Amino acid sequence: MEGETKAARRGHCVVLAYPAQGHINPMLEFSKRLLHRGISVTLVSTRFFCSKLQKLPGSIIALETISDGFDDGGIDKAENHKIYLDSLRQVGTQTLSELIEKLNRTGKPVDCIIYDSFLTWALEVSRKLGLLGVSFLTQNLSVDSIYYHVNKGKLKLPLVKDQNISLPGLPSFEPCDMPSFLYEYEPGNAFLDLVLGQFSNIEKADWIICNSFYEMEIEVADLMRKIWPNLRTVGPTIPYKLLNNNNSNNTFEGEEDYGFSIFKGEECTKWLDNQPKQSVAFVSLGSMVSSSKEQMKELAMGLTDSGISFLWVVRDSEEAKLPASFSKKTKKSLVVTWCQQPKVLSHEAIGCFVTHCGWNSTMEALSLGVPMVALPLWSDQRTNATIIKDVWKIGVRAEFDENGIVRREALKNSIWEIMKYERGCEVKSNAMKWKNLAAKAVHEGGSSWKNIEEFVDSLSHLNV
Ligand code: UDX
C-alpha cells in the first residue's frame, strides 16, 4: 500500500487530547491535516470520555485511550477538580507510556507526542521514551499570552479593580474582559492552576502549535514567537471542505467527517434548506457551561420576540429549563439537542450566530464568515467576545444585566443589530473578509499550510 509506506516513512504521532469536546475537536482536525500529509496518527483521550464519543460516519482517525483513574465517570466522579487533575497526571503518565509501548509493538513505532498544553506531564513521557514532545495550545494566542504573563509574574493577581490591562501585542482590556479565572480570582482554583500551569515546561517542548492562524493575531503572534521561536499557528482547525465552500475535491477529508462528538446530533440541514438565505439566527452555547432557568427563559422569549427564525442547540441536560409553553418546533424555529455545528454555520440560511464565544465556536464562525452575537459566560469567552467586537469587528455583544442575565430585550436588540440594522452590513462585510483570510491561511502557500508543512518535514527527517 503506497499510503502505508509513505506513512511509515513519515512518522507516527500520538495526539493526546484533554477530555472535553472543545479540546478534542481542534486536535482531531489537526490530526486529519497530518494524516493527509502521510503521517500516521493515533488520537488518544481518556477511557470514560472516549466511551461517550459518537464516531461519526466516515471518521478516519484511529482512537486509543488512557486512564485518568476515573474510568467509570471521569471528572464528575472525582471529589473535586484538583483530585481529578492529579489523578489524570499520575495514572495518565503510566497508561500513556504503556499505550505507546503497545503501539510500538504494532510495527508503526511512535515518533512524537502532540499533547494538549493542559497535559504538561505528557512532555515528561515523551522525554522518557525519547520522542518528540509537542505542546498544542487549544485556545488563541491572545488568551495564551495573558496566562503566560500571569505565570511569569508580569500581570499580578488579583487584578486591580477599574484598572485597564495593557499587555504587549494586545488591545487594552477592562478587568471584566479578562478570562474568568483571572477576573474572578480564587487562589487554588484547580482550573486557574491548569491554565497557568500550561507554561511550566513549555519552553522545553520541541514545537508549540497553536489553534489559531497568523493573520488573526499578527502582533501577539510576532511577540510570542520571539519568546517561543518554535511556535507555529496551524488553524483554523475546522473541516477543510467547509473552508473551501464545500467545493473541495479533497476526498481524503471524508464525506461526513466532522469528527467525534460526546452528544448525539440531530439532523437540521433539511430544515435549514427550507429557510431563505441569511434569515436564521443559530444559537449554541457550547459543550460545557449550563445556564440558569431564568436565563433559558429570557433566551426563549428573546428569540421568539425577535421575529427572526432560529435554530437553537439546547443540550439534553438543559432542556428541562425551557419554559413549559415554549414549542421546540414551529415554522420559524427548531430546537435540537446537538448538531454538526461547523456544517450548520456554513449553511447559506444562517444570518448570525448567537454564541458563548468558546474558542472553537468563535474560530468556526470567523472562518465561515458568520457575524456573531456574543454572549460570553466563562473561561476565555469574555476575552474572545471583546476581540470579536473590538478587534475583528465581526460581532456585537449582548448586554448582561446586574444579575448576570441577558434579558429578552437585550438579546432581541443584538440580533436585530446584525440582521436588520445598518451596523449589520459593516459586521457582515468584515466577516467575509475574515472568511477569505482563514481560507487563505490553510490553502497551499498560506501561513498555516506552510507551518504544517514545516512541522511535517521535521517529522520526516526523523525517519530518513
Ligand atoms: C470551552 C471554552 O469556552 C473554549 O474556549 C475552550 O477553548 C474549550 O472549552 P466549549 O464550551 O466546548 O469550550 O466551546 P467551544 O470551544 O466553542 O467548543 C464547542 C465545540 O463543540 C465546537 O467545535 C462546536 O462546533 C461543537 N459543537 C457545539 C457541535 O459540534 N455541535 C453543537 O451542537 C454545539
Reported as a single tens digit per residue, the pLDDT across 195-230 is 999 999 999 999 999 999 999 999 999 999 999 999
In this predicted structure, the answer to whether residue 58 has a pLDDT above a threshold of 70 is no
Q: With contact defined as beta carbons under 8 Å apart, do 377 and 384 qualify?
A: no
What is the 3 state secondary structure string of 194-252?
HHHHCCCCHHHCCEEEECCCHHHCHHHHHHHHHHCCCEEECCCCCCHHHHCCCCCCCHH
Round to whole Å and give the CA distance between 180 and 170. 17
pLDDT band at 60 (very low <50, low <70, confident <90, very high): confident
Rounded to the nearest 5 percent, the helix, strand and coil shares of the chain are 45, 15, 40
- Residue 359 CA to ligand 1 center (angstroms) comes to 7
Cite the DSSP H helix spans in 105-175: 121-128, 141-151
Ligand 1 pocket, 387 CB below 6 A? no
Among 25, 139, 361, name the best residue to mutate to test ligand 1's pocket (greatest count of ligand atoms within 8 A of Cβ).
Answer: 361
Q: What is the position in ligand 1's atom list of the atom closest to the CA of 362?
A: 17
| pLDDT above 70 coverage of the chain, percent | 93
- Residue 172: how many other CB atoms lie within 10 Å: 11
pLDDT band at 241 (very low <50, low <70, confident <90, very high): confident
**Span 111-144, pLDDT tens digits:** 999 999 999 999 999 999 999 999 999 999 999 9
Round to whole Å and give the CA distance between 366 and 362. 6
Among 287, 288, 386, name the best residue to mutate to test ligand 1's pocket (greatest count of ligand atoms within 8 A of Cβ).
Answer: 287
Please tell me the residue having the least CA distance from ligand 1 atom 28. 286
Round to whole Å and give the CA distance between 457 and 37. 10
pLDDT band at 145 (very low <50, low <70, confident <90, very high): very high
Ligand 1 pocket, 338 CB below 6 A? yes
pLDDT higher at 348 or 261: 348
> Is the preceding peptide bond at 239 cis, omega within 30 degrees of 0?
no
If you average pLDDT over residues 416-424, what whole number do you get?
91
pLDDT higher at 247 or 325: 325
If you average pLDDT over residues 83-108, what whole number do you get?
96
Ligand 1 pocket, 361 CB below 6 A? yes
Which pLDDT does position 56 carry in this prediction? 54
Ligand 1 pocket, 21 CB below 6 A? yes
**Span 340-369, pLDDT tens digits:** 899 999 999 999 999 999 999 999 999 999
Q: With contact defined as beta carbons under 8 Å apart, do 173 and 389 qualify?
A: no
Q: Would you please indicate which residues are annotated as catalytic (active-site) residues?
A: 23, 116
- Residue 161 CA to ligand 1 center (angstroms) comes to 30
If you average pLDDT over residues 449-456, what whole number do you get?
97
Q: Residue 62 class from Cβ within 10 Å (0-12 exposed, 13-18 middle, 19+ buried)?
A: middle
Which pLDDT does position 464 carry in this prediction? 57
Of 31-40, 170-179, 383-392, give the lowest mean pLDDT range.
31-40
Does the predicted interface ipTM exceed a cut of 0.90?
A: yes
Q: Identify the bridge partners of residue 24 per DSSP, sorted by sequence position.
A: none
If you average pLDDT over residues 21-25, what whole number do you get?
94
